[in-house]
Structure 1
Amino acid sequence: MGEAIGQSLATAVGVALSPVPIIAVILMLTTPRARSNGPAFLGGWILGLAAVGTVVLLVAGPSATSGEEPATWVGWLKLALGALLLLVAVRQFRGRPRHGAEAAMPAWMNTIDHFGTGKSLAMGAALSGANPKNLLLAVAGASAIAQTGIPGGEQAAAYAIFAVVGSLGVAAPLVLYFALGKRSASMLAELKDWMAQHNAVIMAVLCLVIGAKLIGDALTLLG
């Protein structure tokens, strides 16, 4: 199981450092429903990751190895995911705000004040399991676990660790909020502003590094 965790760890960190969901949960913590909406968003985030992992492991797990080696299709999948992540990296970098310009955020963030618990949970699930960038990373992480060929129970445990690591970015503001109360407000505001301004560059670097790693892994498998 250690190999499976090691193979997926970098991708899990990429999921954890995704700026938009971190900004979203910080905004939720500034609303009157912070104590219910924040945890609901985190719960939805974990459910979204769990759904992706369950599908990938159920579909890919039984056929991801051929003998003791990863199946050929795993290499092609890694190559495709890596190429898509490189395209995302280029798009993110080209879309970064120019010097002095304010970064544009998704329009739905302006309605967070009106979110209830159900909508917060649904948004968390959508951002982790349906957002294209995070979906690519989650599929890559689950595929890396599946290719090790370990038993199904160990694959599930390894992916659970992947999901926990991938949720640290969203969970951190919640921990600060509940631990420090109002004293966390300025700290979270500074984090939100910094991540909003550098969202494109952060995602470009993450997708570039992970995409290059996946392509390298694919070439090794297919070589």
Structure 2
Amino acid sequence: MVEVLPLALLITVSPLPIIPGVLVLHAQHPREGGLAYLAGWLLGLAGLTAISISISNLLGGLRESPPAWANWLRIVVGTALIVFGVIRWLTRRGHDHIPVWMRTLTSVTPTRAALTGAALTVINPKVLLVCAAAGLAIGTDALGNTGTVISAALFVPVAGSSVTLPVLAYAVAGARLDAPLERLKTWMEKHNTALVAAILLVIGLAVLYKGIHTL
């Protein structure tokens, strides 16, 4: 469970799910669209995490003691996170604009908002890597059924909290949050790439160290 929270926080600080969530709140039906986007995002995270845990279980031996292959897989995942972090750091300049496809989210229907939230968990390599690492950590720690469910139930809400908070706040406060949400979106566009790169490196090093240390 020690590995799970830092991995969840890595998704939490990512701008990719937050910015579309803010844009959806400017659509014709902001409350319905925001809640639909949030539902799709959380379901996507839960699905990827569950699949990763299931794959770990299928590879055997997870309920009695962590298998030897898990350490090698941690090394692979940790290395991948480090490489991705270095790439993000080296390419951090020039990422201060909103892609064209995101701008269309200000006119989406709730159904499309839900599909967008779910799709963003699959098309983002970082989210895939982090959910795979979380599923590996949960599935190979011999937690038993109850511990596995608790860990997964902890990972998904924390990972999705940066989308949950503004969407639920808007559902309560409405248009009064337009200006603060716009400032949040602008700040994340300008500063978050470097932050995410640094966190990727730190967590990648931690996962890599655990894999090497327990060989």
| TM-score > 0.5, shorter chain as reference | yes
Q: Percent identity?
A: 30
Alignment of 1:58 with 2:54, yes or no, is yes
Please point out which of 85, 109, 115 is paired with 2:81. 85
- CA deviation vs aligned residue, 1:116-173 (integer Å, no higher than 9, x gap): 2222111111222441111101111111111111222431232021101111011111
Residue of structure 2 in register with 1:70 after alignment:
66
Report the Cα distance in structure 2 between the residues aligned to 1:180 and 1:67, rounded to whole angstroms.
46
Bigger Cα displacement from structure 2, 146-155 vs 80-89? 146-155
Residue of structure 2 in register with 1:185 after alignment:
178
Bigger Cα displacement from structure 2, 145-154 vs 130-139? 145-154
Report the Cα distance in structure 2 between the residues aligned to 1:118 and 1:67, rounded to whole angstroms.
39
- Kindly indicate whether the alpha-carbon contact (under 8 Å) linking 2:63 and 2:144 is maintained by their aligned counterparts in 1: no
Report the Cα distance in structure 2 between the residues aligned to 1:171 and 1:143, rounded to whole angstroms.
25
Report the Cα distance in structure 1 between the residues aligned to 2:203 and 2:120, rounded to whole angstroms.
19
- Kindly indicate whether the alpha-carbon contact (under 8 Å) linking 1:145 and 1:159 is maintained by their aligned counterparts in 2: yes
- Kindly indicate whether the alpha-carbon contact (under 8 Å) linking 2:62 and 2:140 is maintained by their aligned counterparts in 1: no
How many residues align? The count is 215
Alignment of 1:196 with 2:192, yes or no, is no
Give TM-score, length-normalised by structure 1: 0.89
Give TM-score, length-normalised by structure 2: 0.92
Please point out which of 152, 155, 160 is paired with 1:162. 155
Alignment of 1:103 with 2:99, yes or no, is no
- Kindly indicate whether the alpha-carbon contact (under 8 Å) linking 2:71 and 2:214 is maintained by their aligned counterparts in 1: yes
Alignment of 1:32 with 2:28, yes or no, is yes
CA RMSD between the two structures = 1.9
The answer for unaligned runs of 5 or more in structure 2 is none
Secondary structure at 1:170 match in 2: helix
Q: CA deviation at 1:63?
A: 4.0
